[in-house]
Amino acid sequence: MRDDEVSAALLAWYDGHARVLPWRTAPADRAAGVQPDPYRVWLSEVMLQQTTVAAVRGYFLRFTGRWPDVAALAAAADPEVMAEWAGLGYYARARNLLACARAVVARHDGRFPQTLAELRALPGIGPYTAAAVAAIAFDLPATVVDGNVERVMARLHGVEVPLPAAKPVLVALAETHTPAARPGDHAQAVMDLGATVCTPRKPACGICPLWQPCAARAAGTAADLPRKRAKPAKPVRQGVVWAAFRPDGAVLLEDRPARGLLGGMLGLPGDGWDGAGGPAPVAATWHAAGEVRHTFTHFHLILAVQIARTSAAPLRGRFVRAVPADLPTLMRKAHDLAAAAIASH
Residues facing residue 236 across a β-bridge: 300
252 binds ligand SF4 (CB under 6 A): no
Please state the length of the chain.
345
Residue 153 in the binding site for ligand SF4 (CB under 6 A): no
Q: Whole-number minimum distance, CB 8 to ligand SF4, in Å?
A: 15
Return d(Cα 221, Cα 226) in angstroms, integer.
9
* Strand, helix or coil for residue 281: coil
Nearer to ligand SF4, 70 or 197 (CB): 197
**Which range of residues in 11-19, 180-188, 206-214, 236-244 is near ligand SF4 by CB under 6 A?**
206-214
Query: Catalytic amino acids?
Result: 45
> What is the spatial distance between Cα 94 and Cα 89, in angstroms, rounded to a whole number?
9
Asked whether position 197 contacts ligand SF4 by CB under 6 A, the answer is: yes
DSSP bridge pairs for 163: 228
DSSP string computed for 44-92: HHHHHTTS-HHHHHHHHHHHHHH--SHHHHHTS-HHHHHHHHTTS--HH
Judged by CB under 6 A, does residue 217 bind ligand SF4? yes
For ligand SF4, the binding residue among 27, 38, 203, 239 (CB under 6 A) is 203
Smallest distance, ligand SF4 to C-beta of residue 215, A: 8
Give dist(CA 259, CA 241) in Å, integer: 18
Q: Within 10 Å of residue 3's Cβ, how many Cβ atoms?
A: 14
210 binds ligand SF4 (CB under 6 A): yes
Q: Which amino acid is at 148?
A: N
Stretch that binds ligand SF4, among 80-88, 94-102, 133-141, 150-158 (CB under 6 A): 150-158
Q: By CB under 6 A, is residue 214 in contact with ligand SF4?
A: yes
At its nearest, how many Å lie between ligand SF4 and the CB of residue 230?
22
Taken in order 64, 65, 71, 72, the sign of the CA dihedral is negative
Exactly one of 24, 40, 155, 186 binds ligand SF4 (CB under 6 A); that residue is 155
226 binds ligand SF4 (CB under 6 A): no
**Which of 198/280 has CB closer to ligand SF4?**
198
Residue 190 binds ligand SF4, judged by CB under 6 A: no
**What is the end-to-end Cα distance of the chain in Å, rounded?**
73
Q: Which amino acid is at 313?
A: A
Our finding on whether 9 is near ligand SF4 (CB under 6 A) is: no
Omega before residue 226 within 30° of 0, cis: yes
User: Rounded CA gap, 281 and 3, in Å?
Assistant: 69
**Closest distance between ligand SF4 and the C-beta of residue 226, in Å?**
11
* Contact region with ligand SF4 (CB under 6 A), list: 55-63, 75-83, 205-213, 281-289: 205-213
Task: Kindly state whether residue 286 participates in binding ligand SF4, applying the rule CB under 6 A.
Answer: no
Contacts of 294 by beta carbon, 8 Å cutoff, 6+ apart:
300, 301, 303, 329, 330, 333
Rounded CA gap, 141 and 179, in Å?
7
Asked if 198 touches ligand SF4 (CB under 6 A), the answer is yes
Nearer CB in complex with ligand SF4: 131/222? 222
177 scored as a contact of ligand SF4 (CB under 6 A)? no
Q: Minimal distance in Å, beta carbon 214 to ligand SF4?
A: 3
Looking at residue 224, the DSSP 8-state letter turns out to be: G
Nearest residue (CB) to ligand SF4, 147 versus 278:
147
Q: Binding residues for ligand SF4, per CB under 6 A?
A: 152, 155-156, 197-198, 203-205, 208, 210-211, 214, 216-217, 222
